[in-house]
């Protein structure tokens, strides 16, 4: 079966080289029982690739099930995957089969596998290596023949380095990796997808499909699409419903495209220019605090230069005047220039003010910085969020930009009492 016929069968639109390569890999690996790891941003269609692999495999007549690991509470995920015995925990009134038992002979797609607890990861590794598992509350070893296809929108290797994902499981899962490109990496496909979604909507509701003029096409292509194909489909349907004119201009299209910075958390570019390097909130905080500490260090170095060269103030008077007027720093200058206090305009937890006396008795007073340990800062933010929302986990998690399940795990990790 050629690539184009597979695209037609599964409704895949696009001809970008990255997309075609991902499909070629999926087709080649389908005839084997190798474990596959699908990487890609949320909304790129990773589940479709798992269905392609299963449909083209020898297991196509056996069961296929997709499991979102991030949507199952941590306390019940072992039971969901491996089953449990009657009375094994509170509420277990009957024995229950897990997915690895009910899908025996078929394929199981584990989406967002990076959300699995470490204990469950150990159980999964055993299944992948030996085909054996044990129900919760049982001592009987059971066998299963299930092909595992995993997917993640996070960099699992980074999670391994952070101690959140087992290294042995990572290498066991990524026997054959498939990278599904983000929509922003396939600009030639954006307008094709828009036309497809607009035509589908028009056929469903018996209306004429909306069309874009050239300027609107360019705007659509240059938009970064943080929500990928899912967001593009939503935009196409919104325009089809709300637009009075079927010929859409760039001005009209702008009403439906929100500024990129308001759709996501701040994106920090790495040294190689990759805006997706920081895949979770902890890495973003790391970068912010690191830059903050670097600024303070530079400020200290400047004043040490002043101590070594008392004529520095006179030589750099223009720079000092500019510094006084800037938003980045505040200079308290109620005394003559010989006694100057410079205080960074940043949270007080980052650094204490530097006091430099420039008289006959030259001295430096630098207070010790508070800890910039990222775990301490993360714990502090979580406590503040809980206080702000009166211990309502859902609201606090939303404010922090993380899932409620992730917040629950962090409460246990940091031993935070609500």
Rounded (5°) CA angle 183-247-249: 65
Q: Which residues contact 224 (CB under 8 A, 6 or more apart)?
A: 184, 260
**CA trace torsion 245, 248, 251, 254 (10° rounding):** 110
Residue 5, pLDDT above cutoff 80: yes
Residues of the chain with CATH 3.40.50.300: 3-181
Return the SS3 of 88: coil
Nearest to 74 by CA among 417, 418, 412: 412
Nearest CA to 240 among 193, 194, 171? 194
Percent of the chain with pLDDT over 90: 54
Q: Is the confidence at residue 61, as pLDDT, over 70?
A: yes
CATH topology of domain 3-181: Rossmann fold (3.40.50)
Q: What are the pLDDT digits (tens) for 370-397?
A: 555 677 778 888 888 888 888 888 888 8
d(CA 235, CA 229): 10
- The kind and range of the H/E element at 38 are strand 36-39
Q: Specify whether the CB–CB gap between 111 and 164 falls below 8 A.
A: no
Among 1.10.150, 1.10.3470, 1.10.3430, 1.10.10, name the CATH number for the domain at 374-414: 1.10.10
Q: What is the pLDDT of residue 323?
A: 55
In the predicted model, what is the mean pLDDT of residues 103-130? Answer: 95
Nearest CA to 174 out of 36, 29, 32, 21 is that of 36
Q: Tell me 333's DSSP state.
A: -
pLDDT at 359 over 50: no
**CA gap 14, 373 in Å, rounded:** 45
The band of 353, judged by pLDDT with boundaries at 50, 70 and 90, is very low
Residues of the chain with CATH 1.10.10: 374-414
The pLDDT of residue 289 is above 70: no
**Average of per-residue pLDDT values in the chain:** 80
- pLDDT tens digit sequence for 159-205: 999 999 999 999 999 999 999 999 999 999 999 999 999 999 999 99
User: Which class for 152: exposed (0-12), middle (13-18), buried (19 or more C-beta within 10 A)?
Assistant: buried
Query: What is this structure's pTM?
Result: 0.61
Query: Exposed (0-12), middle (13-18) or buried (19+): which is 99, by Cβ within 10 Å?
Result: buried
Tokens of 58: 């020898």
Residue 25 CB contacts under 8 Å (≥ 6 apart), including other chains: 176, 178
Compute how many other C-beta atoms are within 10 angstroms of the C-beta atom of residue 2.
8
Query: CA-CA distances (angstroms) from residue 54 to 80, 145, 196, 208, 288?
Result: 21, 14, 26, 37, 43
Architecture of domain 184-263: Orthogonal Bundle (1.10)
């Amino acid at each position: 079966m050629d690539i184009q016929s597979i695209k037609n069968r599964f409704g895949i639109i696009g001809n970008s080289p990255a997309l075609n390569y991902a499909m070629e890999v999926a087709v080649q690996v389908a005839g084997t029982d190798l474990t596959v790891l699908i990487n890609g941003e949320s909304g790129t269609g990773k589940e479709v690739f798992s269905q392609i692999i299963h449909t083209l495999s020898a297991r196509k007549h056996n069961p296929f099930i997709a499991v979102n690991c991030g949507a199952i509470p941590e306390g019940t995920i072992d039971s969901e995957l491996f089953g449990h015995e009657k009375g094994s925990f509170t509420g277990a009134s009957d024995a229950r089969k897990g997915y690895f038992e009910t899908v025996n002979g078929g394929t199981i797609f584990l989406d967002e596998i990076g959300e699995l607890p470490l204990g469950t990861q150990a159980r999964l590794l055993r299944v992948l290596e030996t085909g054996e598992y044990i129900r919760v509350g049982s001592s009987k070893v059971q066998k299963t023949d299930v092909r595992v296809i995993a997917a993640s929108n996070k960099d699992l290797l980074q999670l391994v380095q952070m101690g959140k994902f087992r290294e042995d499981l990572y290498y066991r899962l990524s026997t054959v990796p498939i990278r599904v490109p983000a929509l922003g990496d396939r600009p030639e496909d954006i307008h094709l997808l828009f036309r497809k979604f607009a035509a589908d909507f028009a056929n469903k509701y018996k209306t004429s499909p909306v069309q874009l003029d050239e300027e609107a096409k360019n705007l659509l292509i240059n938009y970064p699409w943080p929500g990928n194909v899912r967001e593009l489909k939503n935009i196409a349907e919104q325009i089809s419903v709300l637009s009075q004119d079927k010929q859409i201009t760039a001005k009209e299209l702008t009403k439906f495209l929100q500024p990129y910075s308001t759709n996501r958390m701040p994106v920090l570019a790495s040294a190689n220019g990759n805006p997706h390097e920081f895949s979770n909130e902890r890495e973003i905080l790391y970068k912010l605090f690191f830059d903050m500490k670097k600024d303070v260090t530079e400020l200290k170095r400047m004043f040490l230069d002043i101590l070594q060269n008392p004529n520095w103030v006179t030589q750099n008077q223009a720079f000092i005047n500019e510094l006084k007027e800037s938003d980045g720093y505040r200079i308290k200058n109620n005394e003559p220039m010989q006694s100057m206090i410079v205080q960074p305009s940043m949270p007080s937890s980052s650094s204490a003010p530097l006091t430099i006396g420039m008289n006959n008795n030259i001295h430096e007073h630098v207070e010790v910085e508070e800890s910039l340990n990222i775990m301490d800062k993360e714990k502090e933010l979580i406590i503040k969020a809980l206080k702000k929302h009166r211990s309502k986990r859902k609201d606090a998690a939303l404010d922090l930009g993380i899932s409620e399940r992730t917040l629950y795990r962090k409460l246990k990790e940091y031993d935070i009492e609500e």
